[in-house]
Amino acid sequence: MRPEPPRGPRPPERRSPAANRPEPGPATAPLDEIPDRTLDAPASPPTVAVRSAGLHPFVYRKMIIGPVGPIRPRDGDLVRVVDRDGLPIGHGLWNARSQINLRILSAGVEVPGPAFWEGKLDRAVALRRDLLKLDEDTNAYRVVHAEADGLSGLILDRYDDVLSAEIFSLGIYQRIGPILERAAARVGTKHFRVHVDERIALAEDFPGRPVATPKLPPRVTIRENGVRFRVQFQGSHKTGFFCDQRENRLALTRFTPGRTVLDACCYTGGFGLYALVKGGATEVTSVDLDEKAVALARENANANQVRPTFVHADAFGYMRQMAANGRTFGVVVLDPPKLIPGRLDISAGKRKYFDLNVLALNCVEPGGILLTCSCSGLLPIEEFVILLRAAARKAGRAVQMLALTGASADHPVGLEALEGAYLKAVWLRVGDRIAAPSLADDLSLDDAGDEDPLEDPDESTGLGSGRL
């Protein structure tokens, strides 16, 4: 709903508009075709010089001086990285065809080998199992979160007995077999699947065929704080499920006892099911434009023996109709698609977030709660809050911000790659209706995008589900 990234990740991080929903991909490659480039340290890695050493693991093309020395790197190679004076910086994965020519893996002079990769996996697993103790509450969580876990280009989620990988780097894709073998040994899974988004494959310029174990189950059942979900892999978004909202789903139950709930972009039902199973909600309405997602949400409801009302509809049109009917809810949840997938989409995406939140605010009863989220890494939290202030003024509602939260702790953020904090969740208490601002006092364009914030929201946006 979300790496985003990312989402950097994003994850993951969330959900794509209907027009961008994934179609069935190419046939999954046989197991014997899984990329299995060795993790052994090369005796004499090629050397690449960069203009300056930064802290971020990404080194873009414009910062590259180029290969130096007699050995020329091939795409995907582990290379030695030096500065303009030839002083060592570290080692990284090289891809001359990507805008991100280098993904730095390690600092110093020691060449990464099996112990390096295994050490990264050990620390990542220890965070989830030993520190966070996630196995006590769930069998679905993020095992590796790309740059934050020191493995740039790799997202790895566990769903019961399945490891589901999403890859953003050619060098990682070439080594995914040995990486998954070691990861599975550490978390005790039996199956794996590998997904490469088509846009990432184009950006990194490699085919990235899906790969899976021969007996990969088409779906698994996961548990999360006592709530059950089916995870279906074929045609799913990203790795299959959005673990990044786990803590927010649980936190929502504090506000739902005795209240009606609207989950306006429900995907497979997460927030609404929590409200019924654990939150004591009197009624839940779950809306999504993705027909397959709604069907799976119904299965999830049956698995938990609860009966929300499911509506196959666009969130914009549905909330507009609710407002016209005078229908309000005690709690409204907005966890929409990633509305800003790229820099060219910032203006239009901010406008969509603005319009969506104006409509949602009109659906919250006085004293009710709006949980509104954005998984767009290109929308900073400060700008998102300003946008929400603009939406509240347009809707004519008094609003208090109760909290700002993000992704669950198994989606950590590296301080050298802050774009990993892609998911923003803003908790608002919505008060009485107030007079809407006049034209003279209305919002600046910076508050809500480049268009006139007094125009009516666009009901034809077509929000489905899925994170990009």
C-alpha–C-alpha distance, residues 274 and 303, integer Å: 13
What CATH number has the domain spanning 237-448? Answer: 3.40.50.150
Helices (H), 68-146: 114-126
How does pLDDT run across 253-276, given as a tens digit for each residue? 999 999 999 999 999 999 999 999
- Which residues are registered as beta bridge partners of 102? 59, 94
Question: Minimal CA–CA distance to 193: which of 203, 201, 184?
Answer: 184
pLDDT digits (tens, 9 = 90+) for 134-165: 999 999 999 999 999 999 999 999 999 999 99
pLDDT of residue 20: 36
What does DSSP assign to residue 284? E
Spans of all domains in the chain? 47-107, 116-217, 237-448
DSSP codes joined into one string, 319-339: HHHHHHHT--EEEEEE--B-S
Query: Are 20 and 12 within 8 A, CB to CB?
Result: no
Are 40 and 376 in contact by the 8 Å Cβ rule? The answer is no
Q: Which residues of the chain have pLDDT under 70?
A: 1-32, 235-239, 436-468
Residue 293's nearest CA partner among 119, 137, 465, 120 is 465
For domain 47-107, which CATH number applies: 1.10.150.530, 3.10.290.20, 3.30.930.10, 2.30.130.10? 2.30.130.10
Would you state the pLDDT for residue 438? Answer: 52
Give pLDDT, residue 454.
31
Beta partners for 223? 228
CATH of domain 116-217: 3.30.750.80
